[in-house]
Amino acid sequence: MTEILRTEGLSRYFGAVTAAEDINVTISEGEIVGVIGANGAGKTTFINMVTGYLPPSQGTIAFDGSPIKGMGPRKLMRKGLARSFQIPQLFLELPVIDNLAIALSAAEHRQFQMIRPVRTPERIKAADEILEQMNINHYRDEMVTAMPQGARKLLDIAIAMLGNPRMLLLDEPTSGVSMEEKYTLMDTVMEAVRQRGLTVLFVEHDMEIVQRYVSRILAFASGEVIKDGPVDEVLADAKVQELVTGKHHRTPEKEGDA
């Protein structure tokens, strides 16, 4: 399989705090990878470094075979590497359609400038398409404040998909979303991912979501990747159970044993 992302010796220190240390990960095109770990394990630090939001202290990052360390988020977005946030980064007091128009405008301009929600026919077309694909087109002309949390997450992910990325990094796509909404949200996102043939890396605390949607897991603890492999293998690992999932977590095979 073709490699799309590779990190080598990737580390980040905040003074005496080791947020991430010696992360060596290779992701192939089309893989859907879950990132798990307890609070403070280094998951967001890893995502932030890969997407250009945080400069690494050490190590290298390559996307599509070329070094990307030192590039900012907008440049990386143009290269095909996009992300969503744990807390959606949206203009709450603007209509949904204008949030998309602003994102498209920002993507079109290389230099920093005041960004206004200019609705060109091309932008409206692109916005309507993604809103429909993410099943949030009924919110099109509503303020973001009118949307429930799940719909806001979908809008944030829709914005990440606007530039037709090849790889998407999602930071806790289901956090703050109700139990009933979670699966609908993930089904919608994963269908869009499948149609676009994207590679996905997503941070998730909910092991049921992880088991249902990913094929490979990176387990983080104390800033390090302690296990990287197929879902069942990682979730059955004693160290992962001790440091990440808790020893009462049951793998899918064991589910029917009781």
Closest CB to ligand ATP among 42 and 95?
42
Smallest separation, CB 40 to ligand ATP (Å)? 4
C-alpha to C-alpha distance for 125 and 120, rounded to whole angstroms: 9
Q: Which is nearer to ligand ATP, 43 or 153 (CB)?
A: 43
Q: How far is the CB of 240 from ligand ATP (least distance, A)?
A: 14
Query: With CB under 6 A, what is the number of residues at the site for ligand ATP?
Result: 11
Q: Which is nearer to ligand ATP, 41 or 168 (CB)?
A: 41
For residue 95, the 8-state DSSP code is B
Rounded Cα–Cα distance for residues 230 and 242 (Å): 18
Q: What angle do CA 104, 107, 111 make, to 5 degrees?
A: 130
> What track of x and - describes contact with ligand ATP for positions 26 through 65 (by CB under 6 A)?
-----------x-xxxxxxx--------------------
Q: Chain centroid to CA 68: how far?
A: 18
**Least distance CB 185 / ligand ATP (angstroms):** 19
Among 9, 14, 208, 242, binds ligand ATP (CB under 6 A): 14
Strand partners, 60: 8
Binding ligand ATP (rule: CB under 6 A), the pick from 4, 5, 10, 19 is: 19
The first and second tokens of residue 6, run together, are: 């590779």
CB 214 → ligand ATP: shortest distance, Å? 17
> Least distance in Å: CB of 47 to ligand ATP?
8
Contact 179, 185 (CB under 8 A): no
Residue type, 101: A
Among residues 45 and 245, whose Cβ is nearest to ligand ATP? 45
Contacts of 133 (CB under 8 A, 6+ apart): 158, 192, 195
* 218 touching ligand ATP, by CB under 6 A: no
Specify the residue for token string 């009924």.
138
The yes or no reply on residue 17 touching ligand ATP (CB under 6 A) is yes
Told to check if 134 binds ligand ATP by CB under 6 A, we report no
Q: Closest CB to ligand ATP among 40 and 252?
A: 40
For residue 184, what is the enclosing H or E element?
helix 179-196
- Helix pair 121-133, 149-161: axis angle to 10 deg: 130
Least distance in angstroms from the C-beta of 175 to ligand ATP = 9
What 8-state DSSP symbol labels residue 242? I
Other C-beta atoms within 10 Å of 43: how many?
A: 26
* Cβ at position 25, least distance to ligand ATP in Å: 15
Q: Provide the binding-site residues for ligand ATP, judged by CB under 6 A.
A: 14, 17, 19, 37, 39-45
